[in-house]
């Protein structure tokens, strides 16, 4: 199929179980909307390219505004370009239930990552309009700006701005893939540095946040389930370890008289691959970046820098893993007569999801005859940022072959619509009493 004949809507509808169109929720409308968004930034490989702060992201947001208005929402845009649709409910003075995600994509990404979260929430608002349901509490739907961060090698920009977490000075030092500054880029889409500073809002405005997202893994596929309940979002912790030995001639230095930093680093990388599973099921550690100095074929490596990405959904088990990794590096360095230095270069705390919110999702799943299944989120999402300040929950939708950030990214429409029904029942179950961090 060429780019011109690409028709996501038709593909989605081809095996859709139309009985799922019910209670004001429409799979046909969801497919139509996914189809419209898929054409914005469509690549040669039928993937999506809608970088943060691009005209394509702006165009996708314009559609979201239109659909929010169709659902009877009041729409505004904050200083960071986050699009916010609001339904007042019976008690407009109460803190809001918020739901959403993002509409930007990685270069040559897929058509479900992010969009499905925004469109699912819109489907809930639209269903309420059609069935005449009036919520007790205000509902706000958000399309967050620049979640993927492909332009400035960062991400989560819009959710950070709304939570008041933006380090604006650091942002202003960044250059994008075309060498342009943050300020130049955001000016192009009608945003300003001053606006970014003003985007922060009191956390007490928001009672709780919920996000539907594709799983980007294979657990739900293995379990043959359309969707699942996220138990927590693993925060990334990056360690930079420098193994310092002695560079020397590869020919003239006997094997018994070497301080080879790469041999030590190699042992380290191998040994830590066994540690996470001893500590926790959801813990992971990855070495994906090393620097070897001087990096010559005939030179014994004198210095090796190893970056370790460490994640878990619980702070205490993640800390146990960090400690065990550092201990391993120290032990190995000692036995190879290598000097070790160790620095933390990035640290986002994990976001555990409150049991009470998971229970509500479990009830919603049981109500729809779906076996409740729990799984962690290894990747970061807007919920990871909002969840630092506001009780947050996530629903994952099955991803075909676990593929994401790729044109082949796929979730069946029936799975997406089942997630919408869970989201709807969940948000309705949040109307009767207040969720706080304490309860």
Q: Is 57 in the site for Zn ion (CB under 5 A)?
A: no
**Structure tokens given for 180:** 């342009």
CB 300 to Zn ion: min, Å: 44
Cα dist from 309 to 58, 236, 345, whole Å: 33, 6, 10
Non-local (6+) Cβ contacts of 23 within 8 A are 127, 131, 421, 424
Local structure of 218: helix, strand or coil: coil
Number of residues located near Zn ion, criterion CB under 5 A: 2
Nearer to Zn ion, 114 or 407 (CB): 114
How does DSSP classify residue 400? G
Q: Which stretch binds Zn ion (CB under 5 A): 15-23, 105-113, 304-312, 422-430?
A: 105-113
Q: Which stretch binds Zn ion (CB under 5 A): 107-115, 151-159, 200-208, 313-321?
A: 107-115
Q: Which stretch binds Zn ion (CB under 5 A): 4-12, 108-116, 313-321, 409-417?
A: 108-116
CB 51 to Zn ion: min, Å: 14
CB 272 to Zn ion: min, Å: 28
Nearer to Zn ion, 337 or 408 (CB): 408
Local structure of 351: helix, strand or coil: strand
Residues 359 to 398: which contact Zn ion by CB under 5 A?
none
CB 148 to Zn ion: min, Å: 7
Task: For 395, list phi and psi in degrees, rounded to 5.
Answer: -115, 125
CB 142 to Zn ion: min, Å: 13
Count Cβ atoms below 10 Å from residue 360 Cβ, excluding itself: 23
Sheet holding 284-293, edge to edge: 284-293, 303-312, 235-244, 339-347
Nearer to Zn ion, 84 or 397 (CB): 397
Q: Which stretch binds Zn ion (CB under 5 A): 106-114, 269-277, 340-348, 401-409?
A: 106-114
Nearer to Zn ion, 115 or 282 (CB): 115
Alpha-carbon distance of 380 to 82, in angstroms, equals 18
How does DSSP classify residue 82? -
Interacting residue with Zn ion among 85, 114, 276, 391 (CB under 5 A): 114
Local structure of 285: helix, strand or coil: strand
For 364, counting Cβ atoms within 10 Å of its Cβ (0-12 exposed, 13-18 middle, 19+ buried), the class is buried
CB 132 to Zn ion: min, Å: 33
CB 113 to Zn ion: min, Å: 4
Count Cβ atoms below 10 Å from residue 256 Cβ, excluding itself: 5
Nearer to Zn ion, 215 or 260 (CB): 215
Each residue 282-321 as x (binds Zn ion by CB under 5 A) or -, in order, gives: ----------------------------------------
CB 397 to Zn ion: min, Å: 12
Nearer to Zn ion, 114 or 135 (CB): 114
CB 84 to Zn ion: min, Å: 18
Q: Which stretch binds Zn ion (CB under 5 A): 114-122, 157-165, 186-194, 200-208?
A: 114-122
CB 240 to Zn ion: min, Å: 27
Nearer to Zn ion, 113 or 140 (CB): 113
CB 98 to Zn ion: min, Å: 16
Q: Which stretch binds Zn ion (CB under 5 A): 110-118, 155-163, 167-175, 411-419?
A: 110-118
Cα dist from 118 to 128, 145, 306, 436, whole Å: 16, 12, 38, 24
Nearer to Zn ion, 113 or 260 (CB): 113
Interacting residue with Zn ion among 56, 104, 113, 312 (CB under 5 A): 113
Nearer to Zn ion, 114 or 138 (CB): 114
Nearer to Zn ion, 150 or 333 (CB): 150
Are 230 and 377 spatial neighbours (Cβ–Cβ below 8 Å)? yes
Alpha-carbon distance of 55 to 43, in angstroms, equals 15
Nearer to Zn ion, 95 or 158 (CB): 158
Q: Which stretch binds Zn ion (CB under 5 A): 109-117, 134-142, 175-183, 227-235?
A: 109-117
Cis peptide upstream of residue 392 (ω within 30 degrees of 0): no
Any long-range contacts for 16-22 (C-beta under 8 Å, 24+ apart)?
16/412, 16/413, 16/414, 16/417, 17/414, 20/414, 20/417, 20/418, 20/421, 21/417, 22/421
Task: For 112, list phi and psi in degrees, rounded to 5.
Answer: -120, -35
Alpha-carbon distance of 278 to 321, in angstroms, equals 9
Alpha-carbon distance of 213 to 147, in angstroms, equals 13
Binding site for Zn ion (CB under 5 A): 113-114
């Amino acid at each position: 199929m060429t780019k011109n004949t690409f028709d996501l809507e038709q593909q989605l509808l081809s095996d859709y179980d139309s009985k799922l169109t019910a209670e004001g929720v429409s799979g046909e409308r969801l497919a139509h909307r996914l189809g419209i968004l898929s054409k914005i930034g469509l690549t040669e490989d039928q993937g999506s390219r809608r970088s943060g702060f691009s005209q394509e992201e702006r165009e996708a947001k314009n559609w979201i505004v239109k659909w929010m208005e169709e659902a009877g929402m009041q729409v505004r845009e904050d200083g960071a370009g986050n699009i916010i649709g609001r339904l007042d409910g019976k008690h407009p003075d109460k803190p809001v239930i918020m739901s959403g995600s993002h509409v930007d994509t990685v270069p040559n990404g897929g058509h479900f990552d992010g969009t499905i979260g925004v469109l699912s929430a819109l489907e809930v608002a639209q269903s309420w309009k059609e069935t005449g349901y009036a919520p007790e509490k205000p509902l706000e739907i958000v399309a967050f700006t620049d979640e993927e961060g492909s332009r400035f090698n960062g991400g989560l920009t819009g959710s950070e701005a709304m939570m008041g977490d933006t380090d604006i000075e650091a942002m202003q030092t960044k250059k994008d893939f075309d060498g342009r500054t943050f300020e130049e880029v955001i000016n192009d889409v009608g945003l300003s540095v001053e606006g970014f500073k003003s985007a922060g809002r009191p956390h007490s405005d928001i009672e709780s946040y919920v996000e539907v997202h594709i799983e980007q893994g294979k657990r739900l596929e293995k379990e043959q389930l359309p969707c699942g309940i996220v138990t927590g979002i693993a925060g990334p912790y990056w360690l930079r370890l420098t193994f310092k030995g002695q560079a020397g001639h590869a020919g003239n230095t006997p094997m018994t008289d070497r301080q080879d930093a790469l041999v030590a680093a190699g042992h380290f990388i191998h040994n830590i691959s066994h540690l996470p599973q001893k500590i926790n099921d959801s813990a992971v550690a990855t070495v994906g970046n090393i620097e070897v100095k001087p990096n010559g074929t005939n030179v014994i490596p004198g210095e090796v820098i190893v970056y370790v990405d460490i994640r878990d959904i619980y702070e205490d088990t993640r800390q146990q893993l960090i400690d065990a990794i550092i201990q391993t590096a120290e032990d190995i360095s000692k036995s190879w007569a290598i000097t070790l230095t160790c620095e933390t270069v990035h640290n986002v705390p994990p976001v555990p999801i409150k049991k009470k919110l998971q229970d509500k999702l479990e009830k919603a799943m049981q109500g729809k005859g779906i076996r409740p299944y729990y799984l962690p989120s290894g990747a970061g999402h807007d919920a990871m940022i909002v969840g630092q300040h506001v009780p947050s929950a996530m629903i994952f939708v099955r991803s075909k072959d676990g593929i994401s950030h790729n044109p082949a990214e796929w979730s069946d429409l029936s799975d997406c619509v089942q997630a919408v029904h869970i989201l709807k029942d969940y948000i309705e179950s949040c109307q009767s009493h207040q969720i706080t961090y304490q309860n």
